Structure 1
């Protein structure tokens, strides 16, 4: 299968400056960039990154950019209001975090890591306006939809800094073209306008030909909205923002209609494997076998197989009848981040009340009598003191972790 064919099969076809998609089959140098507006990428960035992996696998040479300079300004596209100014220390920290995520997602692959602060910090302002700004059309910028919405009636306005963002990103492409021979930018759907600015500068200033290839916006088929949001907000790649357990659970709970499409985009499984999974899923979607494979594969890419296996053991204990006593200390640590915890040396009724699992001692006593409370998988008929690390369960989905010394 050629790259162009695989991009089409996986659903990675959107806007491009090529007149024929088959032209991506010829390897070239390309770049993909992320601004450090936060200290982590989200799964929207991950979709683009997975497409970037395909370009790498088919022989294209990758330059992965972190926008230490553009991140100071922030892309105004899609925003109704001006961004808050970020300080240099925050941006530098975010650059390091995004760079680490690049290394994780693209582990085992060769790429060049670049930071646009390295060339912007030494640019003379007058030279930049004279040598670059002179060739950027104000009309082109003013015609952009987000600019119209910001400067039109009822708009919040736009600063010169944010208005100049597109020129900065365009210069990134020009710089990489001049210094490294980069002739392609791979970008998210929302970056199309900024990316074509670079194509224009390369043509006007260097007489060169360059291209842009964008990843489509991933849509949740069940809701019709942008994929990648949960009730708690964005799904981050950083486990301090979205725990490995919640990350895994997100994929485990994706909609039936979209799961195979997500698998094509977010995993490296081959066509035969995915088509076999799709057949099984179509016969028995209730088994959620496709979601289980998807959760496993994406979590391995972002967090590694060891963390994913730990999450699976925890999940099996909570919802599959697994043996709580077989959980490791790391497993217990992951579990403790997700459910209420109380210290050992407490009785069951006290643990239920203190954790908020029940509203009163009376309610706890009634649940005990009705057989709705279990400890480490075994039904309890009466109250007892718990001194060892244990898992208390009320009904089907309410859990309390009692932390103590293991027996």
Structure 2
């Protein structure tokens, strides 16, 4: 299957500048293509993953991807998707973000001995251009009328846009021209909001290198959930690739909780499963939705891809322990991940009767209620049902010397930190 045919089957193409031309080119030879990300933060979130997974698909089909880190464009700020000016970061912060994203990209996409995926930083060529060269050699090739008509600029005209952000599309166009000339790149891919920037780059290439230059652009669709809300957002905010921002367990749970209406779409977009495998899972969504096999597969594939096999197994252990209530075997790190968003209390390192302890910690509102819950078997300590009113809670109950897990009823967990 041609790579373009595969992307169409996966519903992963929104717009193309020349669909037939690109199909012919990818049939004829192995091409170089690129996608970029600006270092506006020190981690990508899952929304950033979509175009880069497309790069990986091209690689698996025998093509040669280039990952661009926007060390230069990141100092300016892409106005797309924004209705106000971006606050400029310091050059030191941008460089720290460049280093963090570079390491993240290497971990995700480059294996040892892999020379098919190249990484570049647009600061390396942009910082050499002085203002006169910028205006004469590049600015002269851009029509203000055309630039104003681009969606990303037109949407900002009422609220206002600075010359700095207005110039962003010129800088990105210079990137494409540079990669076309020096890295043999013939295709740029990006999100649907990058269409204006991509076509500006193609215009510059044809003005500078000739109208017959074989260069192409392709964008991916805007990802929305079945309920119309933006993909990749949770009540706690964005789902990050950095395990310090979004733990592997939280990452796993995000995918495991996918709506039945979205899961097949996500399997196509994000995983490298075959059409046959996805079709089988799609059938099970219809015939055995209660088993949630498609969601479990999606969660496993994505957690393995981003965090590795070890972190996937850890996320599955936490999930199984919380479902069964058997949490004694969890490590301190696993408890911190699994109970991160659950009610948290603190208790001193002392021995105290279970009834008094539950009230003092704040889990129970009164001793009467505490006694009633204990007698009725509604209280579990570290997964063990507690019905002994005389039990003495001590530091020895703390898992790893740090945590005691209380479950009240079937699903109401509380994390008690020993301080």
TM-score, normalised relative to structure 2: 0.89
**Local SS of the residue matching 2:5:** helix
Give the structure 2 partner of residue 39 of structure 1: 42
User: 1:100 Cα shift?
Assistant: 1.5
Are the aligned partners of 2:345 and 2:362 in contact in 1 as well (CA < 8 Å)?
Answer: no
1:225 and 1:258 mapped to 2: Cα distance?
Answer: 12
Task: Answer whether contact 2:151 2:196 (CA < 8 A) is retained.
Answer: no
- For residue 217 of structure 2, the aligned residue among 212, 215, 220 is 212
* Aligned length in residues: 400
* Gapped regions of structure 2 (runs ≥ 5): none
Gap change, CA 1:285 and 1:217, over 3 Å in 2: same
Is this contact kept in 2: 1:199–1:209, CA < 8 A?
no
In the alignment, does 2:395 pair up with 1:392?
no
Deviations 1:144-167 (A, max 9, x none): 234233323xx2x11110010010
> 2 CA distance for matches of 1:346 and 1:318?
27
Return the match for 1:259 from 253, 256, 263: 263
Which residue among 149, 153, 166 is the counterpart of 2:155? 149
Structure 1 residue 22: Cα displacement = 2.6
Q: 1:370 to 1:40 in 2, by over 3 A?
A: same
Q: Residue 32 of structure 1: SS of its match in structure 2?
A: strand
For 1:96-107, what aligned pairs fall within 5 Å after superposition?
Answer: 96-107=99-110
Distance of 2:320 and 2:274 partners within structure 1? 28
Identify the residue that residue 4 of structure 2 maps to in structure 1.
4
**Is 1:202 equivalent to 2:205 in the alignment?**
yes
Cα distance, 1:36 vs. partner? Answer: 0.8
Q: CA deviation at 1:351?
A: 5.5
Deviations 1:98-129 (A, max 9, x none): 11121122132531111111111111110111
Cα–Cα, structure 1 residues 3 and 349, in superposed 2: closer, same or farther, change >3 Å? farther
The residue aligned with 2:74 is 71
* Equivalent runs, 1:335-374 vs 2, <5 Å: 335=338, 337-339=340-342, 340=344, 342=346, 345=350, 347=352, 348-349=354-355, 352-353=358-359, 356-374=362-380
Greater mean deviation of Cα atoms: 235-244 or 83-92: 235-244
Conservation of the 8 A alpha-carbon contact between 1:342 and 1:354: no
Q: Which position in structure 1 is the counterpart of 2:319?
A: 315
Conserved in 2, the CA contact under 8 Å of 1:14 and 1:213?
A: yes
Does the aligned pair in 2 maintain the 1:202–1:209 contact within 8 Å? no
Instruction: Report if aligned partners of 1:310, 1:330 keep a CA contact under 8 Å in 2.
Output: no
User: 1:325: how far off?
Assistant: 2.8
Deviation, 1:308, is 1.4
Please give the secondary structure, in 2, of the residue aligned with 1:30: strand
Decide which moves more: 379-388 or 275-284: 379-388
Within 2, Cα distance between the matches of 1:35 and 1:324? 41
Find the aligned partners of 1:234 and 1:125 in 2 and give their Cα distance: 38
Moved more, 16-25 or 158-167: 16-25
SS in 2 for 1:192: helix
SS at match of 2:266: helix
Unaligned runs of 5+ in 1: none
- Alignment partner of 2:251 out of 247, 255, 269: 247
- Partner Cα distance (1:85, 1:224) in 2: 31
Distance 2:180 2:74 in 1: 21
Cross-structure match for 1:289: 293
Say which is worse superposed, 333-342 or 244-253, in terms of deviation: 333-342
